[in-house]
A = this chain, B = another copy of it.
Amino acid sequence: MIARKLEVNYQPFDRTTRVPAGTTLFSAAHWIGLPIDSTCGGRGTCGKCKVRVVKGLTEAETADHRQLRPQEIADGWRLSCQARVYEDMTCEVPQLLRVPKAATMGLGRLVILDPNVRKVYFELAEPSLHDQRSDTARLKDALTEEGHDMVAGVSVLRTLPQVFREAGFRVTAVLAGDRLVAVESGDTTGECFGVAFDVGTTTVVGTLMNLRTGMAASVLSTLNGQAPFGADVISRISHGMNGPDAIHELQHAVVSTMNSILAELYRDAGVSPMQTYEAVVVGNMTMLHLLLGVDPTPLSMSPFTPAFMDQLTVDAGDLGLHIHPHGYVQTLPALGAYVGADIVAGVLATGVVREDRLRVFVDVGTNGEIVLGSAQRALATAAPAGPAFEGSQIKCGMRATVGAIEGVQLGERVELQVIGGDVPAEGICGSGLVDTVAQLLLAGLLDHSGRLKTPADVPDHPLGERLIDVDGMRAFLLAEGVYLTQRDIRVNPESAKIIGLVPPVEVDRIIAVGNSAGEGAKIALLSYRERQVAFELPSRIEYVELSGRSDFNDSFISVLGFPELERVT
């Protein structure tokens, strides 16, 4: 399935990466975080990404002939976004003329600010009898000169005659890739926003991002408005089976949730929907099907086939999402029916399949999604994970629903993220559990052997008094009536090992990455190149279907009641 990788070496950095045949030099460089200049984002139109190939062969493409001089081509210069790797190669990268803006996001990932949405201000030549170009051609020619392609739909065309003439032909073009999203009067390049959405079955998180600075302008999470139709994806799908009206009802519910988040974000940040051009949306496949109004029924029964898995671009107006009326929604692709765009975003945020060391990425919830691998090879699968955290195995365990602690921050005091927002904590769900263990370690309340300390061990610790005794067992008090016991902590890695969620590693090698899906959506919003990496992930990660495999079924059934658990503890 995955063929031998080819080696590409970049000079003067002497950085090497291994990529599948057919990858471009541009994309391969980005894969290892090595910035190559580009205005057009790898579309072959700006000519700024040229590199000199010194070892290995790549033929000159049409775009090379258009952008480079014949002597340059003869000397080995190629547009790195066009040059594909078919053998081991070495190339020289010219020094960057400008230092790109970058930010550390996700799990220590350095992300170069390079959003898909760009604004370009023009003082266009006014039409005359000697220059009768159409409004469209006038703008397109100006953009071409700056290295941008442009495709304009009729809805934007309708605005041109008036905007051009009112603005005296001083206008700002808003481009998303080569799609003309809007033309605005005057210089509006200072204001450019996008929104990242993580649409969870329980919770929807929206982050309004300033695409000029790369900073978050405002964040908000609320309950998914589909909640009344059931707590999990299966009950949502069941409701959808009542026909097209029911699917529309579910679609309307989640779009309304997103719009109410948007309204709050706009108010909080003082931003207008007209300045918000793009929404990157991730979520599990059921959530994405329902958001787009696509029947998810086949997802719920063997052989679990989605209607789509690839990334999709949809007009915001089509979905009724309150961003710029000519803006659009971009989803990320999925790896399988139960390893959705949220996991792809998580892999993007954690960089799991970009480095040589072997890592495993686990999203724990009712389902546990697992990605195991490195830059060499990666595998993904999903398995029911609920039983590990629900019921009696974890003292205060509960499903990821209203009242569950899903995030924990331990410092001078305990800060909890509880599903449903302003409600009392009732228990801990999977992600909250992993979070708590990691935070206890960081706070020095848990030693590396997994032993919970006593108040006497940490006399000056501000959280020392939360180390309590419950029925003769050490525990840490998270909230009124909600605590994590010594057994919960010791059990967790072990039970995770038993159900196959994580390998038997030291607990301090487990990192709680927080909302990795939302983080990945933000990264894809801020960086066109990172987005391309996300689009490529399904071709780089092998999906393993567990259902129908007798070896999996047997071992799954054998651990449902954790029979070995009792023996281990």
Partner-B contacts on A (CB < 8 A): 59-62, 84, 127-129, 131-138, 152-155, 157-158, 160-162, 165, 292-295, 297-298, 302-310, 312, 314, 318, 336-337, 543, 545, 547-548
Contacts and interface: CB of A to CB of B under 8 A. Distances in A.
Given A129-B303, A134-B309, A306-B134, A157 B298 contact: no
Given A61-B62, A298-B165, A157 B337 contact: no
Nearest to A299: B161
A129 B59 contact: no
Contacts of A152: 308
Q: Can you tell how many copies of this chain the complex includes?
A: 2
Contacts of A59: 59-60
B62 A134 contact: no
B293 A137 contact: no
Given A61-B61, A132-B336, A138-B305, 11 more contacts: A59-B59, A128-B303, A129-B302, A134-B306, A135-B298, A136-B309, A154-B293, A158-B292, A158-B294, A160-B294, A160-B307
Nearest to A334: B134
Contacts of A303: 127-129, 131-132
A134 B308 contact: yes
Contact of A161 (B60, B133, B307): B307
Interface of A is mostly: loop
**Which interface residue of A60, A161, A314 has the most chain B CB atoms within 10 A?**
A161
Nearest to A309: B134
**Which interface residue of A154, A304, A314 has the most chain B CB atoms within 10 A?**
A154
A312 B337 CA distance: 37
A132 B545 contact: yes
A306 B158 CA distance: 11
Contact of A127 (B133, B158, B293, B305): B305
B129 A545 contact: yes
A521 B69 CA distance: 41
A128 B295 CA distance: 19
30 contacts: A59-B60, A61-B61, A61-B62, A127-B298, A127-B303, A128-B303, A131-B303, A132-B304, A132-B336, A132-B337, A133-B305, A134-B306, A134-B307, A134-B308, A134-B309, A135-B298, A135-B305, A135-B307, A135-B308, A136-B307, A137-B308, A137-B309, A137-B310, A153-B314, A154-B292, A155-B318, A158-B294, A160-B308, A162-B295, A165-B298
Nearest to A82: B62
A168 to B, nearest CB: 14
Contacts of A304: 129, 132
**Which interface residue of A131, A165, A295 has the most chain B CB atoms within 10 A?**
A295
A304 B307 CA distance: 48
A239 B342 CA distance: 52
Nearest to A538: B137
Nearest to A292: B154
Contacts of A127: 298, 303, 305
Contact of A294 (B137, B161, B307): B161
Contacts of A135: 298, 305-308
A102 B389 CA distance: 69
